[in-house]
Amino acid sequence: MAFYQQQPFYNPKTPFPGLIQGGLQDGKSIIISGRVLPGANRFHVNLQCGSQSKADVALHFNPRYENGSGYVVNNAYQNGCWGSEERKYETPFPSGQPFTLQILVSMDAYKISTNGRHFMDFRHRIPFTRVDTVFVDGMVELNSIAFQNPMSYFPPQPGYPPQYTAPPGCGFPSYPAPAAYTIPYKSVINGGLHPGKNMVIHGVINPNATRITFNLRHRTGIALHYNPRFDENVVVRNTHHMEKWGTEERFGGMPFKRGETFQVTISCNPHHYNVFVNGQQAHTYNHRYTKLDDIDILEVCGDLQLTSVQA
């Protein structure tokens, strides 16, 4: 079954109600990136059955920061009443720090991951098929709210050497999702690139990272080599064609930080790529390899953990 891939919400202001186009399905994820404000006392993410103030809430994810310690409350709200709280006495998102929250829908529960690691499950009390709204409020600023639909398996592509074929289960991995992404990661871009195509990658930079790489490949080379280098404090962009590297582009800022979460969006335009990092445009790279529909491999490697890939 195929589902329309909803575009992310970028830099939404709280309180924020966002429509989940097509609702929830088994295997769908919601990925929220942002920062807990310094001195925060609490914030919450709701998966709701409607956007009204008294709508039923299928999942209430509520980090709280009180008396120097923190914990998370999960609950559901139905027919005007809150249910029994489920608490975990742990602080997955320190005050003042960036974070990535991933909520993966399974048939029996929401599987909640924080900064790339499984945190807890919340069993369904309200059918997830009723949910159509994500609502965020409290002492938090948001970079993005993205959506990952259930992905399909793409078979190996004729003409590719074995290292560039899609691995078994290519696409969104089996539960729990974050643990199933291995580095280096390769995914087939079904149908190749075209203007308007976006690829969204979420992850966490390792604390001692030296370099990470995002490549858009074709059969004979690399159309876009996007290479943040922490040892040089620069992002290098280049193209590898006819077994030779072109001229490096090194200007522009370094929007990545060791030990922090990130969202990278690579947007294909008619004449160039736009690269957004955490919702802000970071770099533009003109096409040097112009046969866009030949570019059908996304590769991620280096010193990082992946939490979500939309290709």
Distance CA 251, CA 256 (A): 15
Domain 162-310 fold: Jelly Rolls (2.60.120)
Distance CA 92, CA 106 (A): 22
Q: What pTM value is reported for the model?
A: 0.58
The dihedral region occupied by 163, where left means phi > 0, alpha psi between -120 and 50, and beta the remainder, is: alpha
Q: What is the pLDDT of residue 168?
A: 32
pLDDT at 263 over 90: no
In this prediction, residue 157 has a pLDDT band, given cuts at 50, 70 and 90, of very low
Rg (alpha carbons) of the chain, rounded to whole number: 20
pLDDT at 261 over 90: no
Answer yes or no: are the C-beta atoms of 226 and 275 closer than 8 Å: yes
267-309: pLDDT as tens digits? 898 899 999 888 788 999 999 999 999 999 999 999 998 887 8
Which of 85-94, 140-149, 179-188, 221-230 shows the highest mean pLDDT? 221-230
Q: Give, as one character, the DSSP assignment of residue 164.
A: G
Distance CA 151, CA 172 (A): 5
Distance CA 177, CA 100 (A): 14
72-88: pLDDT as tens digits? 999 999 999 999 999 99
Answer yes or no: are the C-beta atoms of 26 and 135 closer than 8 Å: no
Number of alpha carbons in the 13 Å side-chain half-sphere of residue 142: 25
Distance CA 229, CA 240 (A): 18
**Is the link from the previous residue into 176 a cis peptide, with omega within 30 of 0?**
yes
The dihedral region occupied by 196, where left means phi > 0, alpha psi between -120 and 50, and beta the remainder, is: left
Least confident segment among 7-21, 68-82, 148-162, 233-247: 148-162
Task: List the Cα angle 235/296/175 in 5-degree steps.
Answer: 85
Answer yes or no: are the C-beta atoms of 198 and 6 closer than 8 Å: no
86-117: pLDDT as tens digits? 999 998 888 888 788 889 999 999 999 887 67
Q: What is the pLDDT of residue 4?
A: 52
Q: Do domains 9-148 and 162-310 have the same CATH topology?
A: yes
Q: What is the pLDDT of residue 150?
A: 67
- What burial class does residue 263 get, using C-beta atoms within 10 Å of its C-beta: 0-12 exposed, 13-18 middle, 19+ buried? buried
Neighbours of 162 (CB within 10 A): 6
Mean pLDDT within 245-258: 95
pLDDT at 166 over 80: no
Q: Give, as one character, the DSSP assignment of residue 166.
A: P
What's the whole-number average pLDDT of the chain? Answer: 85
Domain ranges of the chain: 9-148, 162-310
Mean pLDDT within 145-164: 50
CATH code linked to domain 9-148: 2.60.120.200
Mean pLDDT within 201-205: 88
Mean pLDDT within 5-30: 88
DSSP string over 250-301: --S-----TT-EEEEEEEE-SSEEEEEETTEEEEEEE-SS--GGG--EEEEE
Distance CA 279, CA 281 (A): 7
23-74: pLDDT as tens digits? 999 988 898 888 899 989 999 999 999 988 889 999 999 999 987 678 999 9
Mean pLDDT within 241-263: 92
